[in-house]
Structure 1
Amino acid sequence: MNIGTSGVKDNPALWLESIAEIDPDRPLMRIPGGKSYSYGDVADISGRFAAYLSRCGVCAGDRVAAQINKSPEGFMLYLACLHIGAIYVPLNTAYSKAEIEYFIQDSDPSMLVCVPESLNEITAIANKFNVPVLRSLGVDGEGTFIENAIKCRPADFIPFTGKTSEVAAILYTSGTTGRSKGAMITRSALAHCARILSDIWHFTPGDILLHVLPVFHGHGLFIAANTVLAAGAQMIFTKRFDVDEIIRCLPDATVFMGVPTMYMRLLKHPGFSKNICDNLRLAVSGSAPIMRETLDAFREKTGCTILERYGLTETLIVTANPYDGTAVQGSVGLPVPGVDVRIVDIETGQELNNVNKIGKIEVRGPGLFKGYWKNPEKTAEEMRSDGYFKTGDLGKFDANDYLFIVGRDKDMIITGGYNVYPKEVEIAIDNMEGIEESAVIGLPHPDFGEAVTAIVIANRESQSSEADIIAVLKDRLAKYKCPKKIIFVDSLPRNAMGKIQKNTLRQQYETRYQ
């Protein structure tokens, strides 16, 4: 247990409060070229936000949906929800109007917070689905939420005193059916994840995390920011991933967490050198597989080994390479304390005890989600009776219990750290006039890891070009889900049962981006 949170219950909201009481001037967040916030500052402002949520009628268990840019105030809105027991629902800023409509209808929030520039468009959505309160919050702290919340007193709310098994957040994760599912993350799961990572990666109050990740994603919010709170540490909080800015900030950082794309872009920057990484003691990669070339180049350039870890929205942290001991290249590490991981036979579902035997990865532990929001059927489908969750990933253990991810049972694509399920993109393409069928696959890409690529059969009368299809998709899908290339074909390879053979397509086009 770390110094800053000794004696505090497993409640992330109390970690902040406990440090603010004993050491209010301790730094927590610094914005490059901007403001700095101490633990006392963040406790005060998030308390005002909590009071304002309560004044607006938001109660424990109510949802607060937020499609906002990364900002200190946005992070404090999340903390405010923890204070009163509201359920925080972060939404990717790249989501299209149609996607936002689905998330608002499904989550049924008591408050919706958006960026000021989209207020008019979001107002129509809020009215359509009878959202009681709509407010705006900008990247620089402007907007109607701040204007009202800052007037409240930080003590004017009733702190949440319910069970730690209650839901703290709902994160939407794509599904193979094309519809996103809301994973319900509990307060105890958040606490377990942050405390475990703080311990195994030896976080101390003296650590400074260079926080470059988005906070609508579990990696940036639960893996990175929560771990800082659990350790009583601090972070340099960038509003976006800007390589030049990262280069300027790295000399002050002791910890860096990123996705493979970020490491690749750092390595390409002429200003990236060992000198600016002299204080860096820990570099972590997650959310997507990282190439061996990237691992080797980073170690050669900095002398620091990138530690890979593994987790999902539904499980939070599962495995991690150890800070002390051997970090095995190509492996996502060992199961973290308290988490059980097993490999089961792809066909029978029986547990495999053989070393290097590939099977489906299943996970059980205190970080597991509570289920899918308003979707008990899907929850039951993905959970086993003995408490294990079916991850959909394929993997194997070596003789020393290090886990290796070898593929995905489902055809999910990971591009730049974001998950894309082909079915959702295929539905959008197949609904276009003149399109007979499509198959969406991920192909190796030197920058994004995988590139979303659509193999399309158009009918003879179709005049649609690659540019036409991509332009339509940009109005219907988040930008990262849109194919980087459209490849027109006359037919798609199929097996005897008529199923499209995507492995054949991946092999056929695997060098398309090389």
Structure 2
Amino acid sequence: GALINGSKMFWMSKFDPKLAIAKFSEATVFMGVPTLYTRMLAEPTLTAQQAAHMRLFISGSAPLLIETFNDWKARTGHTILERYGMSETAMLTSNPCTADARHGGATERRGGTVGFPLPGVELRVMGDDGNLVQTGEIGGIQVRGPNIFKGYWRMPEKTAEEFTADGFFKTGDVGRIDERGYVNIVGRSKDLIISGGYNVYPAEIEGYINEMPGVVESAVIGVPHPDFGEVGVALVIAKPGAVVDAAQVLASLKSRLANFKIPKRCFVVSELPRNTMGKVQKNLLRDQHKSLFA
């Protein structure tokens, strides 16, 4: 996008939060993953004055915590624009940059959502029965449009498996569309926990944990269990200087969620494994804890 637009770019050998913040006075747009925003929020040099020259902050590649969304707005005066895309599809949805006549002139960048489908993109949420779900209900996200790839290279069987008969691509993401048309990503279908026959969506539980005092971030994974098939395990990172009690985390969840959604164990950890894009590698966490209930 910057190349097509002829925009000047600042290149760095690695991400340095202090240096990035210093460059705000010379730049207008910053695109980053949520991890970069949290690292910059830890720097005292991040102020509204330092970000005054900036026009737009964009987040993608991983879910942006509502706390990060709110803290960034409070510190800089800027509202992060969160969006959603995949390697197979390019960009699919975005929160509004300006007023969008297609959605009633919506201008609000809503935290916890990835906005509306972009022009030309069709997006639907389907249930396990193959039918569209009702507004606000959770299901599998499917997309169709000129931005969608033609298929996986020399893998015709996988390509056929990932496309529906009417040409929609199965993203593998689980989400919902609210009453105003905003798309909410709940998680990846491969992260779904089926515990005692009930579907448990980790992102829902993580949302409650992340709201608890002293918590920076959490990850909920499913591991094998002899009675329930699978159960949830919560990994929680505490804020610097804060004390988070694992038993209290589970006790707090019990007052807010159905019992089948409550993780069976909780661990307070110093960090979560991430890939180079800042996404939490839940496959590594599942492998690490797979024998917990053996």
Alignment TM-score, normalising by the size of structure 1: 0.39
Tell me the CA shift for residue 272 of structure 1: 1.4
Cα 1:453–1:395 shift into 2, 3 Å: closer
Q: Which residue of 2 aligns with 1:282?
A: 56
Which residue of the partner structure matches residue 180 of structure 1? none
Structure 2 counterpart of 1:318, which letter? L
C-alpha offsets along residues 59-96 of structure 1, whole Å, 9 cap, x if unaligned?
A: xxxxxxxxxxxxxxxxxxxxxxxxxxxxxxxxxxxxxx
- Within a 5 Å distance, the mapping from 1:264-413 to structure 2 comes to 264-324=38-98, 325-345=107-127, 347-352=128-133, 354-411=134-191
Query: Are residues 1:246 and 2:20 paired?
Result: yes
Q: What is the rounded CA distance, in whole Å, between the counterparts of 1:404 and 1:232 in structure 2?
A: 33
- Kept in 2: contact 1:493–1:504 (CA 8 A): no
| Alpha-carbon shift at residue 495 of structure 1 (Å) | 5.2
Return the alpha-carbon distance in structure 2 between the equivalents of residues 249 and 509 of structure 1: 43
Change (3 A) 1:401 1:266: same
Structure 1, unpaired ranges of 5+ = 1-226, 413-440, 456-491
Alignment partners' CA distance in 1, 2:130 and 2:268? 36
Contact 1:273 1:301 in 2 (8 A): yes
Residues 295-346 of structure 1 deviation map (CA, whole Å, 9 limit, x = unaligned): 111000000000110111111101000111111121100000011000001x
Asked whether the 8 Å contact 2:57–2:80 carries over to 1, the reply is: yes
Name the CA shift for 1:360/1:269 in 2 (closer, same or farther; >3 Å).
same
Distance 1:403 1:451, change over 3 A: closer
Alignment partner, residue 493 of structure 1: 225
Of the three residues 263, 268, 271, the one matched with 1:512 is 268
C-alpha distance 510-379 of structure 1, shift in aligned 2 (>3 A): farther
Amino acid at match of 1:397: I
Aligned pairs (5 A) from 1:105-124: none
Alpha-carbon distance, 1:399 to partner: 1.6
Summarize deviations over 1:158-196 as a string: whole Å, max 9, x none.
xxxxxxxxxxxxxxxxxxxxxxxxxxxxxxxxxxxxxxx
* 1:247 counterpart SS class: helix
Paired residue type of 2:122: D
Distance in structure 2 (CA, Å) of the matches to 1:375 and 1:450: 36
Cα contact 2:222–2:232 (8 A) shared by 1 = no
Cα RMSD between the aligned structures?
2.6
Identity of aligned pairs, percent? 41
Distance 1:348 1:257 in 2: 38
SS of 1:343 mapped into structure 2: strand
The correspondence of residues 90-489 of structure 1 with structure 2, limited to 5 A, is 227-324=1-98, 325-345=107-127, 347-352=128-133, 354-411=134-191
Answer whether contact 1:315 1:367 (CA < 8 A) is retained: yes
Against the structure 1 CA distance between its residues 509 and 350, is the aligned structure 2 distance closer, same or farther, given a 3 Å change threshold? same
* CA pair 454-351 structure 1, distance change in 2 beyond 3 A: closer
Q: What aligned pairs does 1:30-69 form with structure 2 within 5 A after superposition?
A: none
**Helix, strand or coil for the counterpart of 2:172?**
strand
The answer as to whether partners of 2:34 and 2:62 remain within 8 angstroms in 1 is: yes
- 1:395 match: secondary structure: strand
Q: 1 CA distance for matches of 2:190 and 2:222?
A: 17
CA distance in 2, matches of 1:293, 1:513: 19
CA distance in structure 2 between the partners assigned to 1:407 and 1:382 by the alignment: 18
Cα displacement (A) at 1:244: 2.3
Q: After the TM superposition, which of the residue ranges 232-241 and 295-304 deviates more from structure 2?
A: 232-241
Q: 1:329 to 1:453 in 2, by over 3 A?
A: closer
Which digits, 9 at most, give the CA deviation of each residue in 1:204-234, with x for residues without a partner? xxxxxxxxxxxxxxxxxxxxxxx11232322
- Alpha-carbon separation, structure 2, partners of 1:452 and 1:244: 31
The TM-score with structure 2 as length reference comes to: 0.67
Q: Could you tell me whether the CA contact under 8 Å between 1:308 and 1:333 is conserved in 2? A: yes
Q: Helix, strand or coil for the counterpart of 1:512? A: strand
Report the secondary structure of 1:277's partner residue.
coil
